[in-house]
Amino acid sequence: MSHEVEIGGFKVGAGQRPFLIAGPCVIESEQLVMDTAGAIAGIATSLGLPYVFKSSFDKANRTSINSFRGPGLEKGLAVLKKVKNQFGLPVLTDVHTEEQATEAGKVVDVLQIPAFLCRQTDLLIAAAKTGKVVNVKKGQFLSPHEMGNAVKKIEECGSRNIILTERGSSFGYNNLIVDMRSFPIMRSFGYPVVFDATHSVQLPGGGGTKSGGQREFVEPLACAAAGAGVDGFFMEVHPNPDEALSDGPNMVPLHQLKSLLERVLRICDAANPKK
């Protein structure tokens, strides 16, 4: 069983009700971030759902060199700080280098290690040393058992503020699958496990110079994960995904989020009646 990890003013794992990590893939503008954060916060509050806002200041692993990456570290952290101050929300962002981890750790509550970088020892150590919660996404190329090595690297730095996230495994070219066995396997390491419902329906590189996605499968996969038992859900959400500058094909439209979460939570409550 996983133990509790504190994020902002609430605890996750160890029998707590599932929590939500959600927001636009990348910081496209301050206005978009503030509008989306406020709207999702309202939905989460109405459902009694602990909520962490997510958006990235830099998407360093875009398919094409011409793809939009974000406003950069300084401007991006300023926007995330405004979300914290205005809405009182804990915030999460990706980091790709040790220097980014150190600087972002001064502002955000959760540092996220992208799936492609989950084996980068120096990055894991730098994130752990900030004292903030570290959310490690399982690489598409790893078995869930191998995530125990990432956990051990962080623990060796004296940190127990760890979350593990499943985001699908490579299955042939430009396709991902989700192995539901990964949730109990990764939970066995003693930390909360999150399901990334939107990146799991991504078609990596499927658009040639960009990734494709099948957002119509977000709900069935999220429902399956709810039944399998997870501690939280990660969903990238946008008011108009078809116009998003990153990950549009796999993001949840904002107007569909509440009904999706209502169904997922009903399954969580049925599968785990003590939560």
Residues 2, 191 contacting (CB under 8 angstroms)? yes
pLDDT at position 190 is 97
**Res 139 pLDDT > 70:** yes
pLDDT at position 178 is 97
> What tens digit of pLDDT does each residue of 223-243 get?
999 999 999 999 999 999 999
pLDDT at position 153 is 98
pLDDT at position 1 is 59
- DSSP secondary structure of the chain: -PPPEEETTEEESTTPPPEEEEE-SB---HHHHHHHHHHHHHHHHHTT--EEEE-BS--TT-SSTTS---S-HHHHHHHHHHHHHHH---EEEE--SHHHHHHHTTT-SEEEE-GGGTT-HHHHHHHHHTTSEEEEEPPTTS-GGGHHHHHHHHHTTT---EEEEE--EE-STT-EE--TTHHHHHHTTTS-EEEETTGGGEETTTTSSS-EE-GGGHHHHHHHHHHH--SEEEEEEES-GGG-SSSGGGSEEGGGHHHHHHHHHHHHHHH-TT-
Read off the pLDDT of each residue in 5-24 and give the average, rounded to a whole number: 94
> What tens digit of pLDDT does each residue of 157-170 get?
999 999 999 999 99
pLDDT at position 51 is 98
Read off the pLDDT of each residue in 21-41 and give the average, rounded to a whole number: 98
pLDDT at position 274 is 61
In the chain, where are the structural domains located? 5-271
**Res 208 pLDDT > 90:** no
> What tens digit of pLDDT does each residue of 166-190 get?
999 999 999 999 999 999 999 999 9
> What tens digit of pLDDT does each residue of 39-86 get?
999 999 999 999 999 999 998 887 788 788 999 999 999 999 999 999
pLDDT at position 61 is 80
Left if phi > 0, otherwise alpha if psi is -120 to 50, otherwise beta: which for 116?
alpha
Q: What is the CATH number of domain 5-271?
A: 3.20.20.70
Pick from 31-35, 78-82, 83-87, 244-248: least confident = 244-248
Read off the pLDDT of each residue in 7-14 and give the average, rounded to a whole number: 93
**Res 193 pLDDT > 70:** yes
- What confidence tier does 252 reach under pLDDT thresholds 50, 70, 90? very high
pLDDT at position 273 is 67
